[in-house]
Each structure stands twice: as structure tokens, then as C-alpha cells.
């Protein structure tokens, strides 16, 4: 296959998501060619053009006649209208998480994609974190036994707000940690333990000047009997384990975030030797109180997402993330928001 056969990709947005995640992953994926970046910021435009040699456009409407795939990595409130416009123009779409603010909006996009016969998928990249891949392997092998409890955390210590729409915007921006990191936490819990029957959440704004939640806890009761406890916080002076999974036979505890985000931010090329490898000193512990042992973390594999996008578009395979699963996760997030507001558990 030559470069002329590559699928031309238009990337809408060149902030954190576009610049540090989507652009380098697209550029490193065989079969994809990043041709256009949409941004009105002169500094970002210069950086994208200089690094990738792309055309820079001021508006997404400039993409419709010049690309084969649209990637939406703009602020959350724009995800639904931009995805709607791209699908209406006859183009398949990748949307960064969260897909939408509500499950109803998400299902509207699903219906439009089906009507047009187009791929719609969501960048739930944390499914390809090395630690989560390790847990999936341990569950599949039976080494944990039946999982009874999942504890999962995305915690940071940021006592001084960074600013920007994620922290300063209200509900109309679809900001805050519930929809940001919570989208990953809930997605992983559902992938591992299945649908839920009850949702309880606590959600607070701890820092002055911040308009959206920056300290959130979610408890899920799964239909199979397991429970998930999920934390997302920007105000944790001491961090808990990233994962603590308790099974009938053994547990698994892992500290520290997956290495891929830091390596993308540092400018390392995805897919380069060792890119997704966790240092041995950060490997998790598997076992019991009497007999725990460190086990190798599976290599992180964010590139697998975009490789699967190519396969879906070229061969008609299923997309890497089923948007139906994302719509269900949004049902859970909506229930969590309601639970936090009302101070009670919400049945699903």
C-alpha cells in the first residue's frame, strides 16, 4: 500500500487531546495520513504545520470535501454538533470522550451513523492502558478468581487550578472530572464487570474559582454481584493505588499511571521500541497477603485503537469501541450526576 492509498484524516482541535494524543497516534498508524488540522489558535496552527506538514483550517466545514475520516478532539460541548455535521457530510467519525453530555444525545448520533452506514467510534484510549490490559489478562486466565471488588483511581495533586474550560466552565461545557476522568473509570468498570443495577456518587468542588467538580467518587453495584469504587480527584495530596482488584482467589494492586501519556507529552513516537513498557519497579503485585509477587505489566497499546479504525474502514470490521457501550456508560454517568445532586443511590 502506498501513501496515496492512505486514509486522509482531518483533526478538529489541537489542544491537549489533539496535540498530545490524536495527532501523534494518527501519524504513527499505517494506513492513515494526517492531512488537515482545524484550529484558530496561531501558535497551535504553527506547531501542527511544522510538526506534521498539514494544512491548517479555521473551521471544520473545510474538511468535508477533502478527508476520508474526521477526528473530533475539540472542547466537549462541541462533540455532538461536530460529529453530527461530519456524519451528515458522509464521513466516518472518531470522537474523543465524552461522546456527549447525555445518553440520548449519544444515541441520536448512533442512529445517524446507522442511517448513513458510517463508522462512529469513541476514543476510550484507557482500554489500552497496560495496567488495564493486565487486569483483563488476569481475569481471563482465572488467576484472580471471580472478581468481587474493583477499586480504580485517577488522582492528582493540583491545589492551584490550571484554568481553562474543563475547570472554569459550567454544565454547558460538559466539564469537570465526572465526565472527564469518570468517562474512563466507568468505561473500564463496565468492560470488566458488566452492567450495573445501582449507582451512588459524591461530587464536590474543592478549589476556589473552579466551577466544575474536581473531587468525585462513584460506587457501582454490578448485575453480577461485584462492586466498583471509583475515584477522580485533582486534590489528592497522597495518591492511592491506580488499581486494587479483589477476587475470590487473589488480588492485584498497581500504583502509578500508564506510561503512554507521559511519553506522548514528551514527544516520543508511538510504536517506538519500549514505548508502552512499564518500568519493572512499577509492576503490580498479584496474590494474597501471604504470597504476593510482582508481575509484568502488559505493554500499553494506544496504537491498537487507530489500527482497528483502519481495519473497520478498510474491511468493514467492528469499530474499536462500540458506541452502544459508550451510550450505556453515559447512562451511568448521568445517574452518578443525579445521585450526587440528590444524595441517594439511583437504580438502573
pLDDT in tens, 28-63: 999 999 999 999 999 999 999 999 999 999 999 999
pLDDT tens figures, 303-328? 999 999 999 999 999 999 999 999 99
Q: How many CA atoms lie within 13 A of 134 on its CB side?
A: 26
What mean pLDDT value characterizes the chain? Answer: 96
DSSP-derived secondary structure for 159-222:
SS---SHHHH--GGGT-STTTTHHHHHHHHHHHHH--EEEEEEEEE--STT--S-SEEEEEEEE
Is residue 127 over pLDDT 80? yes
Q: How far is CA 165 from the centre of its chain?
A: 18
Cα Rg of the chain, angstroms: 20
DSSP-derived secondary structure for 305-348:
HHHHHHHHHHH-PPPSS-HHHHHHHHHHHHHHHHHHHHTS-EE-
**Inter-axis angle of helices 103-116 and 323-342, to 10 degrees?**
170
d(CA 252, CA 199): 24
| Cell numbers describing residue 11 | 483533526
Where do the domains of the chain lie, and which CATH numbers do they carry?
3-123 (3.40.50.720), 126-301+331-347 (3.30.360.10)
Cα dihedral sign, 44-47-52-55 = positive
Phi, psi (rounded to 5 degrees) for 253: -125, 130
Q: Could you tell me if 145 and 193 are in contact, meaning their C-beta atoms sit under 8 angstroms apart?
A: no
Residue 220 β-bridge partners: 199, 228
d(CA 32, CA 20): 17
pLDDT tens figures, 155-195? 999 999 988 878 877 777 888 999 999 999 999 999 999 99
Percent share of the chain, pLDDT over 90: 94
Is pTM beyond 0.85 here? yes
Instruction: Please choose, from the candidates 229, 257, 236, the residue with its C-alpha nearest in 3D space to the C-alpha of residue 152.
Output: 229
Query: Which residues lie closer than 8 Å to 82 by C-beta, 6 or more apart?
Result: 12, 60, 70, 72, 74
d(CA 16, CA 22): 9
Residue 178's pLDDT is 95
Q: How many CB atoms lie within 10 A of CB 240?
A: 14
| Cell numbers describing residue 134 | 493486565
d(CA 167, CA 205): 10
Amino acid at each position: 500500500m502506498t501513501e496515496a492509498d492512505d486514509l486522509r484524516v482531518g483533526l478538529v482541535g489541537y489542544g491537549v487531546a489533539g496535540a498530545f494524543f490524536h495527532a501523534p497516534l494518527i501519524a504513527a498508524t499505517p494506513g492513515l495520513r494526517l492531512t488537515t488540522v482545524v484550529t484558530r489558535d496561531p501558535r497551535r496552527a504553527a506547531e501542527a504545520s511544522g510538526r506534521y506538514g498539514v494544512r491548517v483550517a479555521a473551521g471544520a466545514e473545510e474538511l468535508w470535501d477533502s478527508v476520508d475520516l474526521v477526528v473530533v478532539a475539540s472542547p466537549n460541548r462541541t462533540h455532538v454538533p461536530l460529529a453530527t455535521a461530519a456524519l451528515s457530510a458522509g464521513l466516518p467519525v472518531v470522537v474523543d470522550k465524552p461522546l456527549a453530555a447525555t445518553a440520548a444525545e449519544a444515541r441520536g448520533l448512533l442512529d445517524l451513523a446507522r442511517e448513513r452506514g458510517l463508522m462512529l467510534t469513541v476514543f476510550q484510549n484507557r482500554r489500552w492502558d497496560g495496567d488495564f490490559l493486565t487486569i483483563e489478562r488476569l481475569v481471563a486466565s482465572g488467576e484472580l478468581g471471580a472478581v468481587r471488588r474493583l477499586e480504580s483511581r485517577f488522582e492528582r495533586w493540583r491545589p492551584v487550578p490550571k484554568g481553562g474550560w474543563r475547570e472554569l466552565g459550567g454544565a454547558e461545557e460538559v466539564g469537570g472530572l465526572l465526565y472527564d476522568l469518570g468517562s474512563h473509570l466507568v468505561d473500564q468498570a463496565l468492560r470488566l464487570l458488566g452492567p450495573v443495577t445501582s449507582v451512588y456518587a459524591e461530587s464536590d468542588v474543592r478549589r476556589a474559582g473552579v466551577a466544575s467538580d474536581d473531587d468525585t467518587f462513584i460506587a457501582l453495584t454490578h448485575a453480577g454481584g461485584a462492586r466498583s469504587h471509583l475515584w477522580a480527584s485533582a486534590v489528592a495530596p497522597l495518591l492511592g493505588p491506580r488499581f486494587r482488584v479483589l477476587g475470590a482467589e487473589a488480588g492485584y494492586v498497581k500504583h502509578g499511571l500508564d506510561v503512554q501519556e507521559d511519553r506522548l507529552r514528551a514527544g516520543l513516537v508511538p510504536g517506538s521500541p519500549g514505548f508502552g513498557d512499564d518500568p519493572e519497579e512499577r509492576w503490580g503485585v498479584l496474590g494474597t497477603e501471604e504470597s504476593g509477587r510482582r508481575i509484568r505489566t502488559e505493554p500499553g497499546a494506544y496504537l491498537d485503537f487507530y489500527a482497528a479504525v483502519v481495519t473497520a474502514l478498510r474491511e468493514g470490521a467492528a469499530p474499536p469501541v462500540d458506541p452502544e457501550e459508550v451510550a450505556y456508560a453515559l447512562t451511568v454517568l448521568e445517574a452518578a450526576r443525579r445521585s450526587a445532586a440528590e444524595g441517594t443511590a439511583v437504580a438502573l
